[in-house]
Amino acid sequence: MAALVILGVLALALLASLMWGARDIAVGQVWAALVDPVAGDHDHLVVRDLRVPRTLIGLVAGAALGAAGALMQGVTRNPIADPGLLGINSGASLAVLAAISGLGVTSVSGYVWFAFAGAAVAALVVYGAAALGWEGVTPVKLALIGAAFTATATSIITVVLLTDRQTLDDYRFWQVGSLANRPLTVLAGVLPFVVVGLLLALASGRVLNALALGDDVARGLGQDVTRGRLLVVAAVVLLCGSAVSMVGPIAFVGLAVPHLARALVGPDYRWIVVLSMLLGPVLLLVADIAGRLVARPGEVEAGLVVAVIGAPVLIAIVRRSRGIAA
């Protein structure tokens, strides 16, 4: 039932994203633009060339970030984990910075593969370092090494930005996180990775339920803990790397959405992952729409609005959960 309600809300968010912005367009005009566009019609051009790409990118990136957040909280057994915990966001940011500063890349489509590669390398480094030692990968080691990697990458980024004004000007527009000015070619390039990541996420529910009981209990239930955790991390890399490469490091979606999903369906990760895939795009699209409306005819970037909208929701969920627990 919860999934059906959220699907309805998501459909409304998709429609609102096509209708509302610097200029409101009636639903009839939106429909006509999609099924029978008129050449030279300004409203039809806005819908097809500007709002459809950002809406589709918001849909896919939101689903990826929501699912990645649920996976991270499950695999680390850490309720405040998000995809940035593995250093994915900082790895992508460092790669984009290198592309801007060293190679002169300035377009969003040019950032995509650098961001994806940086995210993948960061996750491999963190996971590989956590695997060292007799006990192998543990949630605590993943969190600590991920935090250390993030701190190191952030320091390097800060040094470069403080010494290169031109790089700062180009980098900050990607860093803030936005759905604007992203062509559909960006989505087309990473969509196969998102699809594989979502399929792996859906297959990870039983693994996460077992890991939630502790590694020893999971092994007693017949789970291969190492292989299961590697499967989840691979899904996180694909999902978060794809999302970050498209919209920038919007981290709060992956933190807040799994808590809302858990409040709706309980602790079963088979359902938490599914609802997170649906709630992620709802939050991201609503934030993007709000950013367009509050500063018309300009707009506030979605990455900034997500935190403003999501923080009170997360606080309310945590307070309610504590009240129920009490």
The residue range of the domain holding 291 is 2-325
Token pair 């196969």 is at which residue? 192
The answer to whether the beta carbons of residues 291 and 299 sit under 8 Å apart is yes
Q: Summarize the confidence of residues 288-302 as an average pLDDT.
A: 89
> Cα(236)–Cα(245) distance, rounded to whole angstroms?
14
Residue 173's identity, in one-letter code, is F
Token pair listed for 93? 């940011």
Contact 86, 146 (CB under 8 A): yes
- 279: domain CATH number is 1.10.3470.10
Compute how many other C-beta atoms are within 10 angstroms of the C-beta atom of residue 4: 9
pLDDT at 7 over 50: yes
pLDDT of residue 326: 41
pLDDT band at 322 (very low <50, low <70, confident <90, very high): low
In 10 A of CB 199, how many CB atoms?
Answer: 12
Q: How many domains, the chain? A: 1
pLDDT for the residue 248: 85
Q: How far is CA 139 from the centre of its chain?
A: 21
- Kindly report the number of other CB atoms within 10 A of residue 33's CB atom: 22
Asked if the model's pLDDT at residue 276 lies above 50, the reply is yes
Q: Are residues 171 and 100 in contact, defined by beta-carbon separation less than 8 angstroms?
A: yes
Look up residue 201 and give its amino acid.
A
- Kindly provide the b/e burial profile for residues 94-106, where b requires at least 16 CB atoms within 10 angstroms of the residue's own CB: bbbbbbbbeeebe
Q: What is the dihedral of CA 33, 39, 43, 47, to 10 degrees?
A: 50
3-class secondary structure per residue, 53-116: HHHHHHHHHHHHHHHHHHHHHHHHCCCCCCHHHHCHHHHHHHHHHHHHHHHCCCCHHHHHHHHH
What is d(CA 284, CA 276) in angstroms, rounded to the nearest whole number? Answer: 12
pLDDT, position 324: 43
pLDDT of residue 168: 84
For the segment 82-121, what is each residue's pLDDT rounded down to a tens digit?
777 778 888 988 998 898 888 888 777 777 888 888 988 9
In tens, the pLDDT along 189-211 reads 889 999 999 999 999 998 899 88
**pTM listed for this prediction:** 0.90
Q: What number of H helices and E strands is found in the chain?
A: 15, 0
- For residues 185 and 312, the model is more confident at 185
What would the DSSP string read from start to end of 148-172?
A: HHHHHHHHHHHHHHHH-HHHHHHHH
C-beta of residue 124 within 8 angstroms of C-beta of residue 67: no
